[in-house]
Amino acid sequence: MKYDVTFTEQAENAAGQLDRIEEKILSLGEYPEKFRQYEREPWKSRNTRVVPVDNYVIFYIPNKTILKDPEMPLDGAKGTKTE
């Protein structure tokens, strides 16, 4: 059996969007408080930050935990943390 896979323009655009979002998330490891703080309560008092990525927004709270392995998966399943 043989298959011919053709990616549509929409699939390529979605993959590119996902790459841009992932790149922004991974960049937070260097400067977690780089982006502006969300201005509304109760999120402001929790130090919630806002990262724009094209037509999307990422909300996150900087974590003071230091990761030993920068290649740790985003779900934290296999990484080791130190405090």
For 25-59, the pLDDT digits (tens) are 999 888 888 899 999 999 999 999 999 999 999 99
Which of 71, 67, 64 is closest to 80 using CA atoms? 67
Taking the mean position of all CA atoms in its chain, how far away is CA 11?
A: 20
DSSP-based three-state secondary structure for 68: coil
Q: What is the rounded CA–CA span in Å between residue 41 and residue 47?
A: 10
Statement: the pTM of the whole predicted model exceeds 0.85: no
Domain coordinates in residue numbering, the chain: 9-82
Q: Are strands 81-82 and 49-53 parallel, antiparallel or unpaired?
A: unpaired
Q: What is the rounded CA–CA span in Å between residue 78 and residue 73?
A: 7
Is pLDDT larger for residue 53 or for residue 67? Answer: 53
Q: Residue 14: pLDDT band by 50, 70, 90 thresholds?
A: very high
pLDDT of residue 25: 92
Spatial neighbors of 61 by CB under 8 A, at least 6 apart, are 46, 47, 48, 49
